[in-house]
Amino acid sequence: MLTDRANIMLDAWRAELVTDAEIRSWAESEMMAISDAGEMPTWLLDLVTHGPGSVVEQGHDWRRTAEFGVEFAFASARVDLADRGGVVRFARWLAGASLGEDLDLPEVVLGYQVDHYLDQGDVDLAVQCVREGLPGILSSRRDLLRKAVGLVWPTSGSS
């Protein structure tokens, strides 16, 4: 569905994985695929004309926030475990984003562990926890990551 895909694209934009130009290009190609101009959603035209920032700010009723798993996939895709500052930013994001999520998910458990260390003021342990825990989660959750990334960058032949 077009709105589902638009939500994923805007989530990827918010995560800085795609640019304004890529969003506009995607929206233009979607517009070209709509045969009846009367069925074209105005927000799609807004994406092309004003860019994703404008659409996000307007708070359209079709817009929803990403599921935690998708947000995690996008956030973890940007983390460079060798960059301490980047790991700290990810740890802080993860600590806040995982609260209230399903504790059966390993990424949520990691978030709670990181949150505990940050609450204790031990940033070094939080960084160590992310560096040790994230690779295993990414390995075990490859399908989730592929799905989220595939929605933004589909392989040829998929829609």
- DSSP string spanning 68-89? HHHHHHHHHHT--TT-HHHHHH
| pLDDT tier, 157 (very low <50, low <70, confident <90, very high otherwise) | very low
Q: Judge whether 87 and 81 are in contact, CB under 8 Å.
A: yes
Max Cα separation, the chain? 58
The radius of gyration computed from the CA coordinates of the chain, to the nearest angstrom, equals 18
DSSP state of 121: T
Provide the pLDDT for residue 155.
45
| pLDDT tier, 108 (very low <50, low <70, confident <90, very high otherwise) | very high
| pLDDT tier, 82 (very low <50, low <70, confident <90, very high otherwise) | very high
SS3 91: helix
One-letter amino acid of 82:
A
Provide the pLDDT for residue 99.
93
Mean pLDDT for 74-93 is 92
